[in-house]
Structure 1
């Protein structure tokens, strides 16, 4: 397989948006629809997709209309693909392993507000920054699916500092 493009365009509303690999983006949405379109587009370009979400993996498949290459379910139930919201280091480790195997992979991350129910803001932001460092040092792309009313304005402002808002 040839080298993948470092930038790609995606239809976003009535316009086309160009996204670059090695970057983190934030999409304002309630149901992962726009981030799902981005995941499908990158998958079409050959990128493996990891979803990190509060939704059960079967619901994620329905919601984004594709089968991700891998998924992490943020929940308290034990399971191989499940990560408890209390175990931020395990979450980082699983994302790191995915990016090690897929340096130009795509991460769709939904559930930050859920992590904040179980952890201090500083700890959640720290793990997101560590993941963002991996993204920037690779050819990967991360999309944070955010529903702004679920987060404090200060938290949203912190997230905007390390992610480009695309809607």
Structure 2
């Protein structure tokens, strides 16, 4: 009788943990991008095996006669192996893609901190190519769909939000400023020394009063300062009322991309040495190192 009671208690606890973990992992699977979404899916499967099926088998052993231990052992071992190997694999991916950049003090010196306005579209393209190779991650918030933005900028962001009232997996309504703020702050806290890039401010003003948009940007700038990250806002001249633009300029510094790059390189940007270094940097694909390695391996095998 005592063993039956223990089976019911332990089985019920496993069931509760399994169901809770499955629901949370499923939510992360919906929110995250690859490869994090795959890891969330594997964690969810592990919770199902560990908690739901394993707990169900323990409870079943209390009510029905028979040998249940092979099923309990199978579900427990399967869940443990999935969780263990998927965790090790994901840790390796994190180190390969972000570990060296996040831990490099030298590269942190090349990342500005705080909030800045950029007025030149070509300038922001050049600056983002450089910063994405030095930062802990790039989070883009844009009015354009992701594939259209990536094609024009030649960069693959770590995270992307499409400002649209269309309900898609990676879209957000322009009226939900609090949602955008939460996503950006979460990104900066997870990925230190990161870059937050926002374009389409005039679109935000259409769905919110300017005062709310200004508060949103100033709050985001403060978080960027605290988290040692940078907020870049592209504002094309003339898209905002002059009085509104002047309010933003009083709080956010206007950054000249070319002068900034000249300063951090220690010489004129278009000098012979600096130009060669800059072209090398801006043609790198820091967020796609896996693809680069596969391409390199493919070329080596074809030569052989």
Normalization by structure 2: what TM-score?
Answer: 0.48
Q: Structure 1: how far apart are the matches of 2:197 and 2:144? A: 12
What is aligned with 1:149? 238
Match of residue 59 from structure 1: 148
Q: Where does residue 107 of structure 2 map in the other structure?
A: 5
**Structure with greater proportional strand content:** 1
* CA displacement at 1:134 relative to structure 2: 0.5
Could you say if the C-alpha distance between residues 21 and 138 of structure 1 is closer, same or farther in structure 2, counting changes exceeding 3 Å? farther
Could you say what secondary structure the match of 1:95 adopts?
A: helix
| 1:27 aligned residue | 118
Moved more, 115-124 or 93-102: 93-102
Residue 142 and residue 78 in structure 1: after superposition, are their counterparts in 2 closer, same or farther (change >3 A)? same
Distance across 2 between alignment mates of 1:151 and 1:46: 30
CA contact 1:4–1:46 (8 Å) conserved in 2? no
- Determine the C-alpha separation between the residues in 2 that align with 1:122 and 1:143: 19
- Superposed CA RMSD in Å reads 1.5
Corresponding pairs, count: 154
Per-residue CA shift, 1:83-122, capped at 9, x if unaligned?
1011111111111111111121101110110000011011
- Closer/same/farther in 2, CA of residues 114 and 86 from structure 1, 3 Å limit: same
Residues 114-129 of structure 1 mapped to structure 2, 5 A cutoff = 114-129=203-218
The equivalent residue for 2:157 is 68
SS of residue in 1 equivalent to 2:174: coil
More helix by share: 2
Give the SS at the match of 1:149. coil
Helix, strand or coil at the partner of 1:150: coil
Q: Which deviates more, 120-129 or 46-55?
A: 46-55
CA drift at 1:38: 1.4
What is the CA-CA distance between 1:37 and the residue it aligns to?
Answer: 1.5
Runs of 4 or more, structure 1, over 4 Å off, are none
1:77 to 166, 170, 175: 166
Normalization by structure 1: what TM-score? 0.86
> Which runs of 5 or more structure 2 residues have no equivalent in the other structure?
1-99, 257-304
Deviations 1:24-79 (A, max 9, x none): 111113xx332122111112114311111111111110121111111111110112
